[in-house]
Amino acid sequence: MSVNTFGRVFRFTTWGESHGPALGAVVDGCPPGLELDEAAIQPFLDARKPGTSKFTTQRREADEVKILSGVFEGKTTGTPISLMIENTDQRSKDYSDVALAYRPGHADYAYDAKYGFRDYRGGGRSSARETAARVAAGAVARLVIPEVTILAYVTEIGGDAIDPANFDAAQIRANPFFCPDAAAAERWAELVDKARLDGSSLGAVVECIATGVPAGWGAPLYGKLDADLAAAMMGINAVKAVEIGDGFAAARLRGEDNADPMRPGADGKPEFTANHAGGIAGGIATGQPVVVRVGFKPTSSILIPQETITREGTATQLATKGRHDPCVGIRGTPVVEAMMALVLADHKLLHRGQIG
Amino acid sequence: MSVNTFGRVFRFTTWGESHGPALGAVVDGCPPGLELDEAAIQPFLDARKPGTSKFTTQRREADEVKILSGVFEGKTTGTPISLMIENTDQRSKDYSDVALAYRPGHADYAYDAKYGFRDYRGGGRSSARETAARVAAGAVARLVIPEVTILAYVTEIGGDAIDPANFDAAQIRANPFFCPDAAAAERWAELVDKARLDGSSLGAVVECIATGVPAGWGAPLYGKLDADLAAAMMGINAVKAVEIGDGFAAARLRGEDNADPMRPGADGKPEFTANHAGGIAGGIATGQPVVVRVGFKPTSSILIPQETITREGTATQLATKGRHDPCVGIRGTPVVEAMMALVLADHKLLHRGQIG
Amino acid sequence: MSVNTFGRVFRFTTWGESHGPALGAVVDGCPPGLELDEAAIQPFLDARKPGTSKFTTQRREADEVKILSGVFEGKTTGTPISLMIENTDQRSKDYSDVALAYRPGHADYAYDAKYGFRDYRGGGRSSARETAARVAAGAVARLVIPEVTILAYVTEIGGDAIDPANFDAAQIRANPFFCPDAAAAERWAELVDKARLDGSSLGAVVECIATGVPAGWGAPLYGKLDADLAAAMMGINAVKAVEIGDGFAAARLRGEDNADPMRPGADGKPEFTANHAGGIAGGIATGQPVVVRVGFKPTSSILIPQETITREGTATQLATKGRHDPCVGIRGTPVVEAMMALVLADHKLLHRGQIG
Amino acid sequence: MSVNTFGRVFRFTTWGESHGPALGAVVDGCPPGLELDEAAIQPFLDARKPGTSKFTTQRREADEVKILSGVFEGKTTGTPISLMIENTDQRSKDYSDVALAYRPGHADYAYDAKYGFRDYRGGGRSSARETAARVAAGAVARLVIPEVTILAYVTEIGGDAIDPANFDAAQIRANPFFCPDAAAAERWAELVDKARLDGSSLGAVVECIATGVPAGWGAPLYGKLDADLAAAMMGINAVKAVEIGDGFAAARLRGEDNADPMRPGADGKPEFTANHAGGIAGGIATGQPVVVRVGFKPTSSILIPQETITREGTATQLATKGRHDPCVGIRGTPVVEAMMALVLADHKLLHRGQIG
């Protein structure tokens, strides 16, 4: 029942503060015999790393992962895998104003209300740097589910959406926005740059599809695959909304338009002629692509002064200095992929344990 | 790690099939000393009960709850509370076609793929009747959080939305739709009746607000209040979408428009001048009203024939007979309230255990 | 993290008070497809039942189990199995003295100290009647491990031990003491009868052997098979000691005398020429018989007045009236078997989930 | 449900292999505001460290702990505390024979049977080096329970017992055996030295007392304090037996001799005139000293050749070279103390979460 551990069978516990010497994850429940080394993890961290474009935060971290346990002669042993990433670029002075007043829309006040006003510096653990540990753990999770392909991309920034007709997966890594629509990527370059110069920020919508998930994963009633995905995504910094398949749009369809009819397919498995369900029915995977959509709010750390209160409770104004993302949804994309991998790996093992 | 148990400290395990003799819940972790009897639970079950209007399913169940343990001289003892509800109106013959083919959009195929083709009758446990057990457990949960008021209502059916300007809480229990807008309720009467006569079904959106939640509940990083709410709601039958606060709309705002500014308030606590966050920041309650929005897909059991396959894999058509909801979102409303209560009770105790 | 739930994969939650209407268990994690009906459970409850001989407590309960869920057409469905046993013979007046003062050696004072002096009647839940629920759950567990044979028997009562040379398994069910040594059973008849007439009580040692446990079950480092067995046994009412294999006697051997040498055996598996280890090494089953030994203290409810204090803290004397066991270890024997079954079933599924 | 995590509220996860670069623990659930630095942990590691006398293993490790997270300005933050200890003295060549055959009495065969014959080197994780991580976590646990004093000592080596009349706590740290009886310590010096020269090994019995535990800690029915202690102790390498209070000796007493009578004491709390129960009744602490006794088998790694089989299943003989303890019970003593601290800290927080 640890609140710093995620997962039921394939589990990971993260540790580390933004301004501490390092952060990391201990991955437990990874089956033995899988090939693993740092090179299997590093690319995912690089995709997430700050400082990769002028559109993301200006903090520069190497984010180099080390594997300290759980691997022998290049393969997982079945024992806990300890991953560590050192923090190399902390600038403590950037947070001096924060120590005195609460940043609106951030977790400062809530953290103080929970942990107490004198002993806790919430920014350390609530910071998005912890997601580096999640991404590293997610890379290990992918080894457990080689049959699955996971792809996440941004479909919308600041209300400006891609055109599904222009969808080209090859574009996703060809621009700084994980955008599958080249035309939208150009518009977003201007949009985000302008927001950055204005000292403002924008929200985003990220979609993630997992193909190759076999029918059967998911454990009703309180281990449902969609419920676990919802928790995993809603738990990412700045996420305020999660949909499966058609999501809220399904709420506006009639039943006969929302059904996914079946035909006989190959190998005795059904072939679905639509996917309104997003690959999950009754909490169990159907074999259709699993489709999740995640809504990120605009970054709370902005340069425009906001009305707030100090720790003593007096009124004040606060504009956050320092280095921040004008659109956290962009760097949230590899995190969404990582959480998808972590939940699916967990459910594969959970199903195997339940059914054999 | 039970997949039939929900919660971390205030936990409940449900059991029982739709066509078995009874269903129930064992509630564990309820503190001692709280006043509890059947009369504290029954009203919540009555609000959920089928057969209460022509707009919901035609199955008639008494849904009478019995408390079998955990109470002594009218107060909880701190030991497990066993709640039982007997099934009185099962009509087995209504499911004869189902035994032979898969209902599209329902969980039949997924359940068979998980549990095997010969031994499992999924409808039993996946049926919405299990939500009666959840509602009973939710009634116990409310005793733990007397400081909190929870209210859920339908904001949209089949794409027809309420007018926020007409919001009147007193209307919610005055019509069969849990609708806070009397004019919308009238429109919905026609809309749902027509869908029922067409043998079709409609989706819905339900909003739930909890006021009085103190700042501090919620346990980063993987016991976040919003993540647990997301899992709780997404796990309800037919739910495909969950939002906190502004949800997807926040993804379309600029940072300075999405912040919730603070002023000095009473008792040294801040007063928020907006609530885009929906009462949760960084996964911790802020003291603002907690706002959750849930999207229900249209009922999958409909009378219009659907293309599907039989259990042997041959093509067929299936129209489900029997008694079904033309709009499950309506009866989902008390379930949404129950899940809100269960998650909040759990978090109150979790926070107390963490912090004291 | 429920404290009323036992197990990691094959889990059960018990509920019910000694003087409430019923008690029961919800078994979760039982795989689907196993044949189960009341007749598979009842014999184990009958072996445990009070009133079966003059040597055990005089309370007469039918202890008839009902299966309320989780079974369809005679086979488990993979959903929670709710078992219920009604209480039919409660005599509330027997506990009137207890309500006023603490019985020494019993849990009364500790329960009050934990739950508070006004709202909790500990005897209800701490009573050995709850073990009926465990025995019922244990009967279901055995279905999961058909390859294992479990046998428990009493090796000692009040310091009088069996002679291993007289061991005859057929005797175990042929006398009221689960004693495998006919001569010892005769001595115990006198010993226990005398203690009963004296208003005193005796302790016992119970040994349990599980054969057919394959090498590999058990999950280091904190899911070790021996650790889980230790918790399971120490958690039984009145148990104060647990040993695996040679136990404390191993502490008095030299290393070369305590090793279990191996020879090549059939099917490529080793053949062990001794079993000091009791079937577990490094927390993992070796394929040898699993041997556990459990020490029961003498019953705390006795008729000889004891010095104690009242609930208000004043000195008093208390002799417990009512119906009690002069030797709880005897009826603890089926409970020890049940716990062995529950732990082994859990570990079989845990291992399968870990390794496949 | 991690098998590499211990605890329910105050939890720790250990990682690291004997021959990897480091080992460590992530402690989760430690309340915020407690003073913590390396100096609070190091002394406990030093007491456990190999190479401290000729009577323990000859491996020389600095065992220097680093705190990588969870502390800010000298106090715990409430976030996970990552502790790391680097391995500095590994001699891989000492295990060359082991790679080819199974050491009798060790976990080799069991580990291979569980994880597979080609990919797992069990010695890494099953080695007693992991207990360094436990001891470090135990040092943090002590901060949570300042009201409790924990003391462990060896009462017997190789069948030679201390004389309780000679008990002097000051002796415990004055000899290499944690022996509270100076005369016994002298006898043990000869005994252990002779065993070492013979290439043999001896078992031991360790007793641990915790004073200051308030009545109420412990959570029936499956979170009992004694059950958790039993699991904690039985899970230590080489432990085969656990007793609470009088243990097996209670099985040989009559009821009236085993009761702990109560008198009125100070502050309305009872004063017990005996402690056969060992401080726990019904699974809940009574306020009496908590007394646990642990039996260690003789070290399995010995220099006398043992009959065994190779990994291919052929007969062979094996004598383990390398550096090993002639009596692991000695260095197990600080580990017993650490597990006592970890269980008690967990139960203090668990009780607080349950009751407030």
pLDDT of residue B260: 93
**What is the spatial distance between Cα D210 and Cα C314, in angstroms, rounded to a whole number?**
27
C30 vs A: CB within 8 A: no
The pTM score is: 0.92
- Does residue C135 carry a pLDDT above 80? yes
* Single-letter amino acid code for the residue at D46: D
**Contact predicate B162/B184, CB 8 Å:** yes
- Does residue D80 carry a pLDDT above 80? yes
Q: What is the DSSP letter of B323?
A: -
A350 contact residues in C (CB cutoff 8 A): 353
**Which tens digit of pLDDT belongs to each residue from A268-280?**
788 999 999 999 9
Per the CB < 8 Å rule, is D26 touching A15? yes
* Single-letter amino acid code for the residue at A356: G
pLDDT of residue A112: 84
D70 vs A: CB within 8 A: yes
- Does residue C36 carry a pLDDT above 50? yes
**Contact predicate D72/A116, CB 8 Å:** no
B184 vs D: CB within 8 A: no
Report CA torsion sign: A352, B1, B7, B12: positive
pLDDT of residue A60: 58
3-class DSSP string for chain A: CCCCEECCCCEEEEEECCCCCEEEEEEECCCCCCECCHHHHHHHHHHHCCCCCCCCCCCCCCCCEEECCCEECCEECCCCEEEEEECCCCCHHHHCCCCCECCCCCCHHHHHHHHCCCCCCCHHHHCCCHHHHHHHHHHHHHHHCCCCEEEEEEEEECCEECCHHHCCHHHCCCCCCCCCCHHHHHHHHHHHHHHHHHCCCECEEEEEEEECCCCCCCECCCECHHHHHHHHHHCCCCEEEEEECCHHHHHHCEHHHHCCCEEECHHHCEEECCCCCCCEECCEECCCCEEEEEEECCCCCCCCCEEEEECCCCEEEECCCCCCCCCHHHHHHHHHHHHHHHHHHHHHHHHHHHHC
B297 belongs to an annotated ligand binding site:
yes
Per the CB < 8 Å rule, is C13 touching B13? yes
**Which tens digit of pLDDT belongs to each residue from C169-206?**
999 999 999 999 999 999 999 999 999 888 899 999 99
pLDDT of residue B224: 96
**What is the spatial distance between Cα B40 and Cα B28, in angstroms, rounded to a whole number?**
17
- Does residue D154 carry a pLDDT above 50? yes
- Does residue A221 carry a pLDDT above 70? yes
Report CA torsion sign: D282, D284, D287, D291: positive
- A38-42 contact pairs (CB < 8 A, 24+): A38/A65, A38/A66, A38/A67, A40/A139, A40/A140, A40/A143, A41/A65, A41/A67, A41/A83, A41/A136, A41/A139, A41/A140
Q: Which residue has the higher pLDDT, C58 or C111?
A: C111
**What is the spatial distance between Cα A266 and Cα A271, in angstroms, rounded to a whole number?**
8
pLDDT category at A120 given cuts 50, 70, 90 is: very low
CA atoms within 13 A on the CB side of D276: 25
**What is the spatial distance between Cα C19 and Cα B282, in angstroms, rounded to a whole number?**
47
The radius of gyration computed from the CA coordinates of chain B, to the nearest angstrom, equals 21
**What is the spatial distance between Cα A222 and Cα D40, in angstroms, rounded to a whole number?**
42
Per the CB < 8 Å rule, is C105 touching D276? yes
- C-alpha triplet C286, A349, B225: angle, nearest 5°: 120
- Does residue D96 carry a pLDDT above 90? no
**Contact predicate D5/C219, CB 8 Å:** no
**Which tens digit of pLDDT belongs to each residue from D11-43?**
999 999 877 899 999 999 998 889 999 999 999
**What is the spatial distance between Cα C263 and Cα C253, in angstroms, rounded to a whole number?**
22
**Contact predicate A125/A332, CB 8 Å:** no
Who contacts D315 (Cβ-Cβ below 8 Å, separation ≥6)?
A: C263, C264, D307, D308, D309
pLDDT category at D319 given cuts 50, 70, 90 is: confident
**What is the spatial distance between Cα B205 and Cα B233, in angstroms, rounded to a whole number?**
12
A222 vs B: CB within 8 A: yes
Per the CB < 8 Å rule, is C16 touching B116? no
A78 contact residues in D (CB cutoff 8 A): 115, 120
B353 contact residues in D (CB cutoff 8 A): 9, 349-350, 352-354
**What is the spatial distance between Cα B205 and Cα A247, in angstroms, rounded to a whole number?**
11
**Contact predicate D55/A101, CB 8 Å:** no
Closest partner residue to B31 among D9, D32, D355, by Cβ? D355
pLDDT category at A101 given cuts 50, 70, 90 is: confident
Q: Which residue has the higher pLDDT, D117 or A67?
A: A67
Q: What is the pLDDT along chain B (356 residues), one digit of tens a residue?
A: 578 999 999 999 999 987 789 999 999 999 888 999 999 999 999 887 655 555 555 455 678 999 999 998 899 988 899 999 998 765 554 545 556 788 887 888 888 888 775 434 444 565 667 889 999 999 999 999 999 999 999 999 999 999 999 999 999 999 999 999 999 999 999 999 999 888 899 999 999 999 999 999 999 889 999 999 999 999 999 999 999 999 999 999 999 899 899 999 888 788 999 999 999 999 999 999 999 999 999 986 667 778 888 878 888 887 766 666 789 899 999 999 999 999 999 999 999 877 76
**Which tens digit of pLDDT belongs to each residue from A312-347?**
888 888 776 666 678 989 999 999 999 999 999 999
Displacement of CA C277 from its chain's centroid (Å): 22
Query: Which of D52-66, D243-257, D265-279: highest mean pLDDT?
Result: D243-257
A64: burial class by Cβ within 10 Å (0-12, 13-18, 19+)?
Answer: middle
pLDDT of residue C111: 83
H helix or E strand, kind and range, residue D307: strand D306-309
- Does residue C145 carry a pLDDT above 70? yes
Largest Cα–Cα distance in chain D?
Answer: 69
Q: Average pLDDT for residues C304-331, to the nearest whole number?
A: 80
Instruction: Determine the distance in angstroms separating the CA of C173 from the nearest CA of chain D, rounded to an integer.
Output: 22
Report CA torsion sign: D58, D60, D65, D66: negative
Q: Average pLDDT for residues C318-340, to the nearest whole number?
A: 85
- Does residue D240 carry a pLDDT above 80? yes
- C-alpha triplet C144, C149, C150: angle, nearest 5°: 100
**Contact predicate B288/B279, CB 8 Å:** yes
Q: Average pLDDT for residues D305-331, to the nearest whole number?
A: 81
- Does residue D84 carry a pLDDT above 80? yes
Q: Average pLDDT for residues D77-83, to the nearest whole number?
A: 92
**Contact predicate D300/C276, CB 8 Å:** no
Mind listing the domains of chain D with CATH numbers?
A: 94-355 (3.60.150.10)
Q: By mean pLDDT, which of A161-175, A323-337, B134-148, D314-328 is the weakest?
A: D314-328
Q: What DSSP assignment string belongs to C260-328?
A: --EEE-GGG-EEES--TTTTEETTEE-SSPEEEEEEEPPPS--SS-EEEEBTTS-EEEE---S---S-H
Any idea of the CA torsion for D127, D133, D139, D140, to the nearest 10 degrees? -150
Matching residue, tokens 């019509």: B175
pLDDT category at C236 given cuts 50, 70, 90 is: very high
D68 contact residues in A (CB cutoff 8 A): 15-16, 20-22, 24, 84
- ipTM higher than 0.85? yes
Query: Which of B95-109, C87-101, D117-131, D298-312: highest mean pLDDT?
Result: D298-312
**What is the spatial distance between Cα A194 and Cα A198, in angstroms, rounded to a whole number?**
6
**What is the spatial distance between Cα D195 and Cα C234, in angstroms, rounded to a whole number?**
34
Closest partner residue to B261 among A125, A254, A308, by Cβ? A308
- Does residue A119 carry a pLDDT above 60? no
pLDDT category at D60 given cuts 50, 70, 90 is: low
C9 contact residues in A (CB cutoff 8 A): 353
Instruction: Determine the distance in angstroms separating the CA of C316 from the nearest CA of chain D, rounded to an integer.
Output: 8
Distances (CA, A) of B96 to A261, B54, B91, B314, D124: 20, 24, 10, 17, 58
Length of chain D: 356
Q: Which two tokens stand for residue D34?
A: 């407690």
C144 vs A: CB within 8 A: no
B350 vs D: CB within 8 A: yes
Per the CB < 8 Å rule, is A15 touching D121? no
**Contact predicate D65/D39, CB 8 Å:** no
Q: Average pLDDT for residues A165-191, to the nearest whole number?
A: 96
Give the mean pLDDT of chain D: 88
C315 vs A: CB within 8 A: no
Instruction: Determine the distance in angstroms separating the CA of B31 from the nearest CA of chain D, rounded to an integer.
Output: 6
pLDDT category at C77 given cuts 50, 70, 90 is: confident
B91 belongs to an annotated ligand binding site:
no
**Contact predicate C158/C140, CB 8 Å:** no
pLDDT of residue B127: 65
D238 belongs to an annotated ligand binding site:
yes
Q: Which two tokens stand for residue A298?
A: 């605009």
pLDDT category at C122 given cuts 50, 70, 90 is: very low
**Contact predicate B248/A205, CB 8 Å:** yes
Matching residue, tokens 């985003």: A204
Per the CB < 8 Å rule, is C68 touching B22? yes
**Contact predicate A12/A27, CB 8 Å:** yes
Closest CA to B158 of B93, B205, B119: B205
**What is the spatial distance between Cα B120 and Cα B102, in angstroms, rounded to a whole number?**
13
**Contact predicate A144/A345, CB 8 Å:** yes
**What is the spatial distance between Cα A342 and Cα A6, in angstroms, rounded to a whole number?**
9
pLDDT of residue C119: 38
Who contacts D111 (Cβ-Cβ below 8 Å, separation ≥6)?
A: C282, C284, D120, D122, D126
Instruction: Determine the distance in angstroms separating the CA of C71 from the nearest CA of chain B, rounded to an integer.
Output: 9
